[in-house]
Amino acid sequence: MACRTERAKRDLVRVVRAAVSGEVSVDPRGKASGRGAYLCADPACLEAALAEGSLSRALASPLDEASRERLRREHAEAIRQKRS
């Protein structure tokens, strides 16, 4: 998303805004319902998406600092799981 690099879907990390609760989180299985966006498995891509506001626009949801910190932790965990 932020880096605009084309990659295989399995190499990406999905972030989703839940349809009912509106909570934004990383979707490690890529199957959760809701509005989603894909990021590459690079923390710099997440940081760029947060800084530019492209993640907020893609999810149609503002992200407060608590949500940003949670996404950073969840994104890092998703990357660790993909590498194992």
9-83 domain in CATH 3.30.365.10?
A: no
pLDDT for 7-46, tens place per residue?
A: 888 889 999 999 899 999 999 988 999 999 999 999 999 9
The residue ranges of every structural domain in the chain are 9-83
pLDDT reported for residue 84: 79
* Distance separating alpha carbons of residues 44 and 6, to the nearest angstrom: 16
- Cα(72)–Cα(69) distance, integer angstroms: 5
Closest CA to 58 of 28, 27, 35: 35
Q: Which residue has the higher pLDDT, 3 or 66?
A: 66
The pLDDT of residue 3 is 81
